[in-house]
Amino acid sequence: MIKSLSETIVHRRKTVFLLYILLACVSIFTINKVNINYDFTAYLSKDTQTRKSLELMEREFGSTETISIMLTNAKDGEADELVKELSTRKGVLIASHDASADVKTIDGTRYDRITLFLDDVDAIAFYTELEKDLDAKAGMADHVLGGSAPQTIKLQNKIASEIPIAMLIAILVVLAVLLFTSHSFLEPLVFAVVIVVSILINMGTNFVFGTISFITFAVCAILQLALAMDYSIMLLHSFFEIGESVEDDRQAMMLALERTFMPISSSALTTVSGLVSLMFMSFTIGFDIGMVLSKGILITMICVFTLMPAVILLFSKPLKRFRHKPIPLGGRRLGALANKRGLRAVVMSVLLCAVLAAALMQSSVRYTFTDAGINAQSDSISKVYGSANSVVVLLPSQGTREDYELQKEYLRRIGDISHNGKSVLKNAAGMVTTGEAAIKTYTAEEVHELLSSMTPNGFPFGIEAIAGFLKSSGYEDGISAQALLEMADSLSGTFSAMGLMGEEQKEWIKESREAIVLAKRMFESESFSRLILTLDVPIQGEGSEEVMEQIISVTEELYPGKETGITGLMMSVYDISHAFNADLMRVSLITILAIFLIVLFSFRNAVIPVILLLAIQGAVWINFALSVPTNRDVFFMCYLICLAIQMGATIDYGILLTNNYVYLRRNLVAPGQAVEQAMELSFPTIITSGLILFFAGLTIGKLCTVYYIYSIGLLIASGTIFSLIMVLLLLPALLVSLDRFILRRKN
């Protein structure tokens, strides 16, 4: 079957080549059809508190966003004038500027903060238009805008400007590595054609998913380049080797395809198995990354088997004409270390001790679940006013007095929660605080006092008359502010005729009614009340988890068995951190089990997969253990992605070396000579593939400024180095030391 398939690929190479050119051209256009998601919460499991609360808030209150505007050295009254102007802008629910909380003077510079609450509007489009209008406003004070929408746009702009440059530099670096280790000066050209086409097709076919995450979009192309390049190297070098004894290039290519089908397929399978493990995470961004990268690996493998033969045969003559001797890389010398018993013992002892120490240090690795701390340092508004840690709570309410009394008790209980000896509750906004006057029930005495304050000559009716009027209107126990204003509005004609109400009072009633309507839209729905809690506790880190658990506990105690909601960045971090341990265990076990079975099937020996997994898992442990002495936090997605990639991809190096060693031993070569020759045969491919993955990760790490992305790149780069060390130093020593268990020949 493989033979007939190879013949078909070679004979139909021109048709295949044209088909791929067409697919690449179509993919260029479909890339723009892929939507990029910048919202982490969209990937939370549906049963998490954050996801359920966001869906509840969307259902009850619609989409709401917040944008902050900070003015520097604004003129007197400029902030208030801007608030009035913005209040009439379409999409603005509330524009606020508190003279006590929003005005600060630091080192002689005055700062004014305006907060906009948006209602059912496209926040990105609103922000873009607002920024343009403010910039064009004559005499406008210096200003900056903050909030989730500006941060999303900054993220979009960074990725749009940095990723193409990173991709270009990664391609140039990879081509330089290939040129350094190649057999022909034109080899990089062949590789470039195949890998660029496969990347375009992978990116273009992402439209079938509709939406992919920004992390997937940013790293997948570069990682596809790095992870799948060795497939091309295997096929081309096999073609050159067979071409030494077979004159017909087409025949040589058929034989090369037959020879490399199993090793390339096995290599792709181990890489995909690591990536597929990400798809079992409860945090579904892992599914997103795993699916897209796995698809990319498989597309590259298919391109190598089908497109690359056409490209090689097209350039076969110039490839041969520009052949050169590969630079000797000294693989045999490294193999000699394992051949010397004393050195072998030292190398094994040092590296195995390092693996053991790193394994013990894994429990001390600190994980971070957001880059909020880094954003706060770079956000000029946060530097002036501090970073606000807000938690939004949704509580069941029908707007009754009992409901509001229970909410007051809820806030009192939240105020009792302490961290470092002081209450964590800095501020609370809701109808029971911000709109307290609107939900208050006014007695006849209070109504009389209020009406008397509005009439210069005093209200002519006494308290008894007002009480009787309220009782006859159905308000025997008191009247709410909203009902009182509606009643005053309906009686405005009568009051005006009596000289008790002028235009100023009418305007006050109108403004008060509008304020109540806005407050209710902000904090009240038909079935729920919304409270916005500002907490004096870190979003993550010391005390944050304990505080979050106490808030959840208070909510469950006061509203047992009822639907409630808690959301915010602190809640998201809590949900993600609790899912992380299960995700880590799941990804690790699936990756290890899949690789164990693949290697076991390939070698028919249970010792070999144990040795290979020890070497690569040891490299993973060392890579992340270094974060402990350097006091560095590890972003949780970095660990899972790097674990899957490092295990799935770099184990190929160990498989290649072990395969060559076993082959030589079965041909009766002594263990010492076998390990030296195996290292000589394997080293060029291992070092080439390893350097490509290292430089790809380093390029992402050094050229990208987005925390989520550059941290993945740096960890992949360092992980690749440790994998190379373990494969090139520890694995040869283990192969020789455990030779009698590895090779069990039958007489």
The type of residue at 638 is C
Segment 490-538, tens digit of pLDDT: 555 555 555 555 566 666 666 566 666 666 777 888 899 889 888 888 8
pLDDT at 455: 61
Mean pLDDT of 289-298: 92
Packing angle between helix 671-703 and helix 148-181, nearest 10 degrees? 140
Q: Encode 262-299 in three state secondary structure.
A: HHHHHHHHHHHHHHHHHCCCCCCHHHHHHHHHHHHHHH
pLDDT at 480: 63
The type of residue at 271 is T
CA–CA separation, 32 and 345 (whole Å): 56
CA–CA separation, 706 and 121 (whole Å): 27
* Percentages (nearest 5) of helix, strand, coil residues in the chain: 70, 10, 20
Whose CA is closest to 134, among 123, 124, 145?
Answer: 145
Sign of CA dihedral 303, 304, 310, 312: positive
Q: With a cut of 80, say whether residue 743 has pLDDT above it.
A: no
pLDDT at 378: 40
CA–CA separation, 309 and 459 (whole Å): 98
CA angle 644, 688, 287 (to 5 degrees): 20
Residue 279 neighbours by CB distance under 10 Å: 17
Q: How far is CA 672 from CA 268, 679, 739, in A?
A: 30, 11, 10
CA–CA separation, 83 and 67 (whole Å): 13
Q: With a cut of 80, say whether residue 635 has pLDDT above it.
A: yes
Mean pLDDT of 380-391: 74
DSSP string, 532-575: EEEESS-SSSTTHHHHHHHHHHHHHHHSTTS--EEESHHHHHHH
Whose CA is closest to 69, among 380, 386, 522, 515?
Answer: 380
Scanning the structure block, which residue is given the tokens 């509008």?
514
pLDDT at 405: 87
DSSP string, 238-265: HHHHHHTT---HHHHHHHHHHHHHHHHH
Q: How far is CA 306 from CA 2, 19, 97, 575, in A?
A: 12, 11, 65, 45
Q: How far apart are the first and last CA of the chain?
A: 32
Cβ within 8 Å of residue 320, ≥6 positions away: 184, 243
Mean pLDDT of 307-325: 85
260-264, 349-353, 515-519, 604-608, range with greatest mean pLDDT: 349-353
CA–CA separation, 267 and 381 (whole Å): 50
pLDDT at 373: 47
Mean pLDDT of 212-218: 89
Cβ within 8 Å of residue 44, ≥6 positions away: 50, 51, 283, 284, 572, 575, 576
**Backbone angle region of 118, left / alpha / beta, with phi > 0 → left and psi within -120 to 50 → alpha:** beta
Question: Which one-letter DSSP state was computed for residue 726?
Answer: I
pLDDT at 376: 41
Segment 697-742, tens digit of pLDDT: 899 889 888 888 888 889 999 999 999 999 999 999 999 888 888 8
CA–CA separation, 417 and 412 (whole Å): 9
Whose CA is closest to 499, among 454, 448, 446?
Answer: 454
Q: Encode 367-392 in three state secondary structure.
A: EECCCHHHHHHHCHHHHHHCCCEEEE
**Containing H/E element for 69?**
strand 64-72
Q: How confident is the model at residue 689 (pLDDT cuts 50, 70, 90)?
A: confident
CA–CA separation, 743 and 740 (whole Å): 6
Cα atoms found within 13 Å of the Cα of residue 581, Cβ hemisphere only: 8
CA–CA separation, 545 and 542 (whole Å): 8
pLDDT at 385: 73
Average pLDDT of the chain, as a whole number: 82
Is the separation of the CB atoms in 642 and 715 below 8 Å?
A: yes
Q: With a cut of 60, say whether residue 199 has pLDDT above it.
A: yes
pLDDT at 286: 87
Structural domains for the chain: 1-41+182-326 (1.20.1640.10), 49-153 (3.30.70.260), 327-387+569-747 (1.20.1640.10), 437-523 (no CATH)
Is the separation of the CB atoms in 372 and 539 below 8 Å?
A: yes
CA 499 to chain centre: 65
Scanning the structure block, which residue is given the tokens 């690449």?
24
Question: Which one-letter DSSP state was computed for residue 443?
Answer: P
pLDDT at 87: 84
Q: How confident is the model at residue 610 (pLDDT cuts 50, 70, 90)?
A: very high
Question: Which one-letter DSSP state was computed for residue 185?
Answer: T
CA–CA separation, 549 and 624 (whole Å): 29
Which residues on adjacent β-strands are paired with residue 118? 65, 92
Q: With a cut of 50, say whether residue 216 has pLDDT above it.
A: yes
Mean pLDDT of 45-55: 87
The percent of residues above 90 in pLDDT, for the chain, comes to 18
CA–CA separation, 619 and 600 (whole Å): 21
Query: Can you read off the two tokens belonging to residue 628?
Result: 């402990």
Mean pLDDT of 257-275: 85
Question: Which one-letter DSSP state was computed for residue 140?
Answer: P
Q: What are phi and psi of 154, to 5 degrees?
A: -60, -40
Q: Do strands 367-368 and 634-635 pair parallel, antiparallel, or not at all (unpaired)?
A: parallel
Segment 457-496, tens digit of pLDDT: 555 556 666 666 666 666 666 666 666 656 665 555 555 5
pLDDT at 438: 61
Report yes or no on whether pTM surpasses 0.85.
Answer: no
Query: Can you read off the two tokens belonging to residue 132?
Result: 């343009």
Is the separation of the CB atoms in 331 and 683 below 8 Å?
A: yes
Segment 391-445, tens digit of pLDDT: 999 999 887 878 888 998 999 999 999 888 888 888 888 877 766 666 666 666 7
Q: Do strands 479-480 and 634-635 pair parallel, antiparallel, or not at all (unpaired)?
A: unpaired
pLDDT at 490: 57
The type of residue at 33 is K
Q: With a cut of 60, say whether residue 294 has pLDDT above it.
A: yes
Query: Can you read off the two tokens belonging to residue 701?
Result: 């790490």
Whose CA is closest to 370, among 52, 711, 636, 47?
Answer: 636
Sign of CA dihedral 301, 302, 303, 306: positive
CA–CA separation, 680 and 74 (whole Å): 72
Q: With a cut of 60, say whether residue 374 has pLDDT above it.
A: no
Alpha helices in 427-538 (DSSP H): 436-439, 444-454, 463-472, 481-490, 492-497, 503-523
Q: With a cut of 80, say whether residue 337 has pLDDT above it.
A: no
